[in-house]
Chain A
C-alpha cells in the first residue's frame, strides 16, 4: 500500500480525517461530457451592494459595469433569512430556503447536547483505533461531513450530462461528489481545523496577545540574532490526547541588514523587511515515517529591528497535496495550482483577524488582500481556459471581506472613522469594487449569443455602529436565569444557564431558541406553548429601543414557523432577528455570554455587516437577458439555471425561474 493510500484509510489527525472516499473511483469512471451547446456563466461577488455599485459607477472607475448596466438588466436580488453567507449560498445551491437545506446560521448548537459547531460542516474522528505504545493508530477513517441538505443544482446538471465548473462556491465543503469540476469555498478550514489561525512571532508581544482570536502570538527571544519556535499544525490523533503536530522553525536575523532567514525541515526562505514570501510547503510528521500531512504557509516579515515581528499565514491545505477533499475531481485543485500557482484554499482568505488585532496595519492588510485578489484573478483565467460549455461559476471574496473591514474608513459617521487616514485606506472599498471591473470584462469575453450571463451577490452591506446583546436582554427581562450570577463574566457556551428557569436563549448571529421540552436536554417550555412565547418575545424585541440612543434596534423579528417550510424546519431557531441597519448582534452574545450592557458602541475594525434585516441588505443581479420576475431572490437562480439547460427543477426547490 502506498503511503498516500494508507493515509486515506487511517486519517491523519482531525484535519485530514476525511481523506479518501469514492472520489478516485468516480474520477476513473467519469467520461468527458458531450457539449450541450449552451452556456450559463455566473460571476459571484460576495457582498456586492447595489447602493455602492451605483455610487462607485457614478464615480467613473467601473466602465465595464457602466456599459453593461446601460444595455442590460441590473436590479436587486433578494437575500436569505437571515442574510448570512452560508445561509444565502445554501439558498442559491439548493434553490430553496433553510427549511430545506438546514443551514440557519454560521453557528448551530446540537439540540441534544447544546454543543456548538460551525453549521456548514462537521468532522468526526476515526471511530476505531488501536494503541501501540504512545501511538493511537486509527483503523477506520474519520470523516468530514457537509451538513447542507437538499438538492445541489450542479449535481443535477451533472446527472443530465451538462458539464460544470464551480470555483469556490461557499457552503460546498467537502465538495459534493459529482462529475463537475469544483473547488470548495467558504467552510473549508485551515489545517488546524479552524476558519483561520495565523501565527505571530515577536520579541515585543502586545499586551492583549493572550486575547487574540483567529491567531496566536508567540513571544520569542533572540540570542545571537537567532530564535527557534514551533509552527502549530493539525491535532495528531496518532498520539494519546491528540496534541498538535508541529514544525520547528529556526529564524536567523541578519546582524546588520534588514533581512531574516526562516528555515525548517524541508525548506527555507530569506525575506527583506516588508516582504511577503510565496507559498511554502510545511510537512507535519504524525507517526514517524508512517504518516505525515502537508500544508502551506506564506511568511510576512513585518519588522526586523529594533523589534522583530514575523507573521505566518494560517496553514492552508496545499492544493498540490490536499490533506482533505477540496475539489472534484480530487486532483482538480492541484491541476489549477500547477497552472495558476498555489492559492489560498481556506474559506475566507483575507486575514481580517490580523487587522483586528493590529498585527497588520491598514496598508499591510490591504497588501495581503491584494495577494488574495491576484491569486483569484489567475484562477479565473485558468478556470475559464477549462470552460467550453455548460455551467461556469466563479466566486470572489474580496468585496465582502474588505467591506467588513474598511467601511469605517469611508464613513464619517462611524465611531472608528479616521479623518486623517491615507487616501488608499479611505478609498479601499471603492478600490475593490473597481477591481471587479477587469474581472467582468474578462468574463464577458466568453459570453456569446448562446450564453446566459449573471453577476450576483448574496447580500449587500450596512454599517455596524452598535452592538445588541440578546442574551443580556433575555436575562434582564426574566426569560433566562443564571446558575451563578457572580460568574456571568467568566462563562460562555450556555454553561452557566439555569435551564430549569430559562425559557429562551440566543445562540448564533441572528437566532433565538425556545428551551423546548423534548428537544433541549432540559427543556421546560411545552411544545404547545412555544408559539405563544415566541410571539411575545418577538413583539417585545421589536418594541425595544436602545437605552442610550433611543433608536429602535430590530426592524422585524421573524417566526421560523411562518418563514421556513421543509423537512429541516423542525431544527430551526424559533425566532430570527432582523436588525435595523447600524446594529448587529454582539460577538459575545453569539456565543451565549452575558455582557453587562444590552447595547454598546462597536469598537472592532470589523465594523460593517449584513447579518441584519434581509430587506435592508439585498444583493445585486446583473443579467444579459430580461428578468421577468419582479422580486427575484437567490433561491430562484438554481431553477432558472436548470431551465436554461432544459433540466427540470428538483421537487424540493421552492424558487422559480426568473427569466422571461
Chain B
C-alpha cells in the first residue's frame, strides 16, 4: 500500500475532523475524501440534480 507525506498540522486537523464525523480512523476519512475527489475529476460523481432525483424517489419527499 502506498504511503504519502502530509503536513503535521494538517494531520492533526484531519484526525479531529475524522473523529468528529464518526469515521473509524483518519485513514478511512482521507481515503473517502480522495475517492470522492477522484470520482468528481473522473466525471463519475452524480451532480446535484441526479442526487435530488434519487432522494425524491422516496415518497417522503416531493
Contact = CB atoms under 8 A, between A and B. Distances in A.
A516 interface: yes
B54 A118 contact: yes
A112 B16 CA distance: 12
Contacts of B43: 136, 240-242
For chain B, give the interface size range.
Answer: 20 to 34
Given A193-B54, A194-B57, A404-B59, A127 B35 contact: yes
Name the interface size band of chain A: 35 or more
Q: Which residue of B42, B45, B54 has the most chain A CB atoms within 10 A of its CB atom?
A: B54
Given A117-B51, A195-B54, A611-B60, A519 B39 contact: no
Contacts of B61: 107, 213, 509, 587, 590-591
A237 interface: yes
B22 interface: yes
B33 A195 contact: no
Interface in B4-62: 13, 16-17, 19-22, 29, 33, 35-36, 38-39, 42-46, 48, 51-62
B58 to A, nearest CB: 5
A102 interface: yes
A194 B54 contact: yes
B22 to A, nearest CB: 3
A20 interface: no
Contacts of A492: 48, 52
A125 B39 contact: yes
A609 to B, nearest CB: 8
A519 B21 contact: yes
Contacts of B57: 190, 194-197, 213-214, 314, 353
B52 A125 contact: no
Nearest to A355: B59
Given A112-B21, A194-B54, A493 B44 contact: no
B19 to A, nearest CB: 7
A352 B54 contact: no
Contacts of A213: 53, 56-57, 61-62
Contacts of A136: 42-43
A14 interface: yes
Contact of B19 (A241, A314, A352, A570): A570
A213 B59 CA distance: 9
A579 interface: no
Contact of B22 (A102, A113, A125, A509): A102
A240 B29 CA distance: 28
Contact of B55 (A124, A190, A591, A609): A591
A495 B62 CA distance: 19
A102 to B, nearest CB: 7
Given A195-B57, A213-B56, A587 B21 contact: no
A24 interface: no
Nearest to A569: B22
Contacts of B51: 115-117, 493
- The winner among B33, B39, B53, B59 for most chain A CB atoms within 10 A is B59
Contact of B59 (A126, A242, A348, A519): A348
Contacts, number: 116
B62 A604 contact: yes
B20 A401 contact: no
A518 B22 CA distance: 12
A516 B19 CA distance: 13
A571 B20 CA distance: 7
B53 A194 contact: yes
Interface string A209-252: 00001100000000000000000000001001110000000000
Given A106-B60, A590-B60, A604-B62, A111 B55 contact: no
A124 B56 contact: no
Nearest to B37: A113
Interface in A166-194: 189-190, 193-194
Contacts of B52: 492-493, 591
A70 to B, nearest CB: 35
B55 A570 contact: no
Contacts of A189: 54
Contacts of A518: 13, 16-17, 20
B54 A125 contact: no
A541 to B, nearest CB: 21
Nearest to B36: A113
A237 B44 contact: yes
A570 B20 contact: yes
A606 B62 contact: yes
Nearest to A606: B59
Interface string A600-633: 0000101001010000000000000000000000
A568 interface: yes
A496 B61 CA distance: 20
Contact of A129 (B16, B42, B62): B42
Contacts of A569: 22
Contacts of B45: 125
A102 B23 CA distance: 11
Contacts of B38: 127
A356 interface: yes
Contacts of B60: 106, 509, 587, 590, 606, 609, 611
22 contacts: A112-B29, A113-B36, A115-B36, A116-B55, A125-B39, A127-B38, A136-B42, A193-B46, A213-B61, A242-B44, A352-B59, A401-B59, A404-B59, A492-B48, A518-B13, A519-B17, A519-B20, A519-B21, A527-B20, A569-B22, A571-B21, A590-B60
Given A193-B54, A214-B58, A348-B59, 10 more contacts: A111-B20, A193-B46, A195-B57, A213-B62, A241-B43, A509-B61, A518-B13, A518-B17, A518-B20, A590-B60
Interface of A: 14, 102, 106-107, 111-113, 115-118, 124-127, 129, 136, 189-190, 193-197, 213-214, 237, 240-242, 314, 348, 352-353, 356, 401, 404-405, 492-493, 495, 509, 516, 518-519, 527, 567-571, 587, 590-591, 604, 606, 609, 611
Which 8 A-B pairs rank lowest in CB-CB distance, beginning with the nearest? A571-B22, A195-B57, A125-B44, A213-B56, A519-B20, A194-B57, A352-B59, A111-B21
